[in-house]
Amino acid sequence: MKLGASHYYATSDAETFTSLAGTFDLIICTVGTTIDWNAYLTLLKLDGTMVLVGVPEHAVPVHAFSLIGGRKTLAGSMIGSIKETQEMLDFCGKHNIVAEIETIDIKDINEAYERVLKSDVRYRFVIDMATL
Q: Is 79 a residue whose pLDDT tops 80? A: no
Mean pLDDT over 64-88 rounds to 91
Same structural domain, 61 and 39: yes
Q: Rounded CA gap, 56 and 50, in Å?
A: 14
pLDDT > 70: percent of the chain = 100
Residue 69 covered by a domain: yes
SS percent in the chain: helix, strand, coil, step 5: 35, 20, 45
Same structural domain, 64 and 94: no
Residue 41 covered by a domain: yes
Domain range enclosing 21: 14-76
Task: Give yes or no for a contact between 43 and 22, defined as CB atoms under 8 angstroms apart.
Answer: yes
Task: Give per-residue burial for 95-106: e unless 16+ CB within 10 Å, then b.
Answer: eeeeeeeeebee
Farthest CA pair distance, the chain: 56
Same structural domain, 29 and 69: yes
Stretch (H or E) spanning 57: none
Count: domains in the chain: 2
Question: Domain containing 40 — which CATH number?
Answer: 3.40.50.720
pLDDT > 90: percent of the chain = 64
Which residues, at least 6 apart from 77, have a Cβ–Cβ distance to it below 8 Å?
A: 51, 52, 53
Indicate the pLDDT class of residue 89, thresholds 50, 70 and 90: very high
CA distances from 47 to 52, 63, 71, 72 (A): 16, 16, 5, 5
Same structural domain, 56 and 99: no
Same structural domain, 102 and 58: no
Please provide the distance, in angstroms rounded to a whole number, between the alpha carbons at the two ends of the chain: 35
